[in-house]
Amino acid sequence: MGGAWIERAPPRPMRRNRAFPHLLAVAAACLAAVLLLIAGRQPSGAGEPYDCRAARVVVVSASRADAIDACAGARAAIGFFRSLGLESRRPISIEVLARMPESLGASGAGAFIESERRVMVLSYERFKANGTWFRIRIDRRLYRSVATHEVAHAIASEHFRVAVPTIEAKEYIAYVATFSTMDESQRSQVLAAFPGEGFDDACRMSTTIYLFDPMRFGVEAYRHYLKPGNGNPFLRAVLAGTVLAEP
């Protein structure tokens, strides 16, 4: 599972494996929703499906505006991976929710549940109520970046060459995709709000650092990506499991 967090509360500790016991009920509910969608019936209160017309991405949302933003975020993630020569081969479902499932934690702005190929993001109204994300004021442009982050998790999951990627590997890629496609002025504001020089090397990144401060991890990971000698070759190494992998 991968996720975007709201900064005012730290995430709950997470285990390294892909399947988490406390997500079983959520996964079952998601599967039921998928089956209903296939059958032409929508989960109660979920809204209408919206076809993004982008690599088989469908959004279910009560708000058309939220669906359009989720699609824009998805297209940004797809375009980022396409620049690496990587395509999304499997359908992605995005569900816009008034609140995240309790099992995912109150601080979640979005989540990707790999076993169900399902992305969840908060509604814009609920997300905006938090005031800021990455210490800058929330608007529709920033909201799209939440969807980008989660769809990046979904696409990356298709291209990892290791059976169980580490949390830091998953998040490194998702955050790089998020910041690489973020509105330039907002990205500059975020970088200014989180002063730093970026991780010196892969050894400085860990699950512990991510869980302690996921947003700073994301900003420092992006700065690391920008350093000479890193960039896309490092991303490919992460996907290949030659860096940021279990020892």
Domain ranges within the chain, ordered by starting residue: 2-6+22-240
> So what's the pLDDT on residue 198?
98
* Beta bridge pairs of residue 97: 122
> So what's the pLDDT on residue 32?
36
Helix (H, G, I), strand (E, B) or coil at 123: coil
Most confident of 2-6, 32-36, 57-61: 57-61
Helix (H, G, I), strand (E, B) or coil at 117: coil
> So what's the pLDDT on residue 43?
41
Residue 52 and residue 44: Cα distance in Å, rounded? 22
Residue 133 and residue 150: Cα distance in Å, rounded? 15
pLDDT at 16 over 80: no
> So what's the pLDDT on residue 2?
72
Residue 196 and residue 39: Cα distance in Å, rounded? 50
> pTM of the prediction?
0.83
Band (187; pLDDT cuts 50, 70, 90): very high
Band (24; pLDDT cuts 50, 70, 90): very low
* CATH class as words, domain 2-6+22-240: mainly alpha
Backbone CA torsion sign across 81, 23, 129, 11: negative
pLDDT at 54 over 60: yes
Average pLDDT of the chain is 85
Average pLDDT in the 104-118 region?
Answer: 85
Q: What are phi and psi of 97, to 5 degrees?
A: -120, 150
Q: Which range among 44-48, 140-144, 176-180, 237-241 shows the weakest confidence by mean pLDDT? A: 44-48
